[in-house]
């Protein structure tokens, strides 16, 4: 019987695919912890010669580096471990929320190297220019100059089309921001020409942070609801963030329920913006969040009203839970400061025990930043081995 041969072109494709796959597997381990060649060989089931070739290639790319450890007694052989190379590149994350932009500079090891906060009085073009200038100032530090900027990840408090990167028009933003669908990418790209620039909704990045480092690590189906000045969210389905056709999935604030005899969307009565407006009209004075919190803690009638909005949130989430059959619901945003009574009011609307997921507050600090940094690192490493 004649032996079948694989055309050289197909062999080349197969070898390239296997090389990328093995590179990715090695990096997936090293981004978690430094490992010796023996540990890597054992975990991946690769021969020493095959692994040596992979490690040599990654070292030549500058993606990984060696760590040499000496025994505490000073005797015996030195142990060589491999780790991702912190000097391979920088990741800049811009998280915009509540009229502030938090900027962090991290390395490929996900270590935070620098941070700054920029006050944003309005979501407009000038605010974007101010953020770009602040990033430039941070990166001018001497220690950053030898390290290339690989990724800029922008966490946007609005809807972002996952296919085109286009920002959806929203009344809270200056219309000029939407005159050009590529405005953000273009403006950042003018100064940071060699960096990849990504824009996505901030709560989508928060979900990624919760999945990797927070309460959703061992969960496959969940909802994350952010209740702050506005209401946003994200859904974890079968272990992945569900984006929908355009990337807009998770807009819980636009879902309707009956509230005080009227059919209203959540954002109109349950967001902090709506609550502050309600008490401003009632009390005849400007209301800030600290005032809202004081009213909740000291005024029984005000607390009752706020808890009634929580029950409205619960009714919407109960309907979503019946549809999606999730096992966990995470609440984030400053409503967490309303405490257990608020959470219980939300949870109390889950009437059918078949659809009664665990409802809890997020406890992860800076889930948005962690998720965005992790995304930037993953993309930089993937780009390096493609």
Residue 20 pLDDT > 70: yes
Please determine, for residue 252, whether its predicted confidence score (pLDDT) is greater than 90. yes
- Quick: pLDDT tens for 44-81: 888 888 899 999 999 999 999 998 765 555 565 677 89
Percentage of the chain exceeding pLDDT 90: 72
Taking residue 234's Cβ as centre, other Cβ atoms within 10 Å add up to 28
State how far the alpha carbon of 379 is from the alpha carbons of 27, 142, 182, 215, 344, in Å: 12, 26, 20, 24, 39
Looking at residue 316, its pLDDT comes to 97
Distance in angstroms (rounded) separating the CA atoms of residues 181 and 165: 7
Instruction: Look at 98-102, 253-257, 270-274 and tell me which has the smallest mean pLDDT.
Output: 98-102
Query: Tokens for 81?
Result: 């471990």
Could you report the per-residue pLDDT of 80-123, keeping only the tens digit for each?
Answer: 899 999 999 999 999 998 889 999 999 999 999 999 999 988 88
Percentage of the chain surpassing pLDDT 70? 94
Gyration radius from the chain CA atoms: 25
Tell me the mean pLDDT in the region 245-265: 94
Average pLDDT over residues 140-166: 90
pTM (2 d.p.): 0.89
- 11, burial (CB in 10 Å: exposed 0-12, middle 13-18, buried 19+): exposed
* Mean predicted confidence (pLDDT) in 125-135: 92
Retrieve residue 115's tokens. Answer: 């941070």
pLDDT in tens, 166-176: 777 777 788 77
pLDDT for 276-285, tens place per residue? 999 999 999 9
Q: What is the three-class DSSP state of 233?
A: strand
What's the pLDDT at 75? 62
Looking at residue 158, the DSSP 8-state letter turns out to be S
Alpha carbons 35 and 46: distance in angstroms, whole number: 14
Q: How many residues does the chain have?
A: 386
Which residues lie closer than 8 Å to 265 by C-beta, 6 or more apart? Answer: 253, 254, 255, 256
The whole-number pLDDT of residue 13 equals 62
Report pLDDT for 287.
Answer: 97
Given this model, what pLDDT does residue 386 score? 81
Residue 1: per-residue pLDDT: 47
- Residue 200, pLDDT above cutoff 80: yes
Residue among 361, 342, 338, 349 at smallest CA distance from 314: 349
Higher pLDDT, 147 or 162: 147
pLDDT, one tens digit per residue, over 223-239 is 999 999 999 999 999 99
């Amino acid at each position: 019987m004649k032996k079948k041969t694989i055309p050289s072109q197909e062999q080349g494709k197969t070898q390239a695919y296997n090389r990328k796959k093995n590179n990715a597997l090695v990096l997936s381990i090293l981004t978690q912890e430094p490992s010796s060649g023996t540990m890597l060989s054992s975990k991946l089931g690769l021969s020493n010669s095959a692994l040596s070739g992979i490690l040599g290639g990654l070292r030549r790319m500058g993606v990984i580096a060696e760590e040499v450890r000496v025994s505490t007694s000073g005797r015996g052989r030195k142990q060589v471990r491999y780790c991702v190379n912190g000097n391979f590149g920088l990741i800049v994350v811009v998280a915009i929320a509540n009229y502030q932009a938090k900027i962090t500079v991290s390395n490929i090891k996900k270590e935070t190297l620098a941070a700054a906060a920029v006050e944003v009085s309005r979501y407009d073009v000038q605010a974007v220019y101010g953020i770009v200038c602040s990033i430039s100032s941070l990166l001018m530090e001497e220690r950053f100059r030898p390290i290339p900027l690989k990724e800029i990840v922008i966490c946007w408090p609005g809807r972002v089309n996952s296919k085109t990167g286009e920002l959806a028009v929203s009344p809270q933003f200056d219309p000029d921001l939407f005159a050009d669908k590529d405005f953000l990418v273009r403006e950042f790209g003018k100064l940071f020409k060699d960096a990849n620039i990504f824009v996505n909704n901030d709560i989508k990045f928060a979900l990624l942070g919760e999945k990797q480092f927070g309460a959703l690590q061992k969960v496959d189906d969940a909802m994350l609801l952010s209740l702050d000045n506005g209401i946003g969210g994200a859904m974890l389905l079968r272990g992945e963030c569900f984006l929908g056709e355009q990337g807009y999935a998770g807009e819980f604030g636009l879902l309707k329920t009956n509230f005080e005899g009227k059919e209203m969307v959540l954002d109109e009565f349950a967001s902090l913006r709506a609550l502050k407006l309600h008490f401003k009209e009632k009390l005849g004075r400007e209301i800030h969040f600290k005032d809202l919190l004081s009213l909740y803690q000291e005024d029984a009638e005000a607390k009752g009203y706020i808890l009634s909005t929580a029950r409205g949130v619960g009714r919407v989430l109960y309907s979503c839970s019946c549809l999606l059959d999730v096992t966990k619901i995470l609440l984030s945003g400053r409503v967490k400061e309303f405490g257990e009574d608020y959470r219980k009011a939300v949870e109390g609307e889950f009437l059918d025990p078949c659809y009664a997921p665990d409802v809890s507050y997020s406890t992860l600090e800076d889930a948005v930043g962690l998720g965005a940094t992790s995304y930037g690192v993953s993309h930089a490493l993937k780009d390096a081995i493609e």
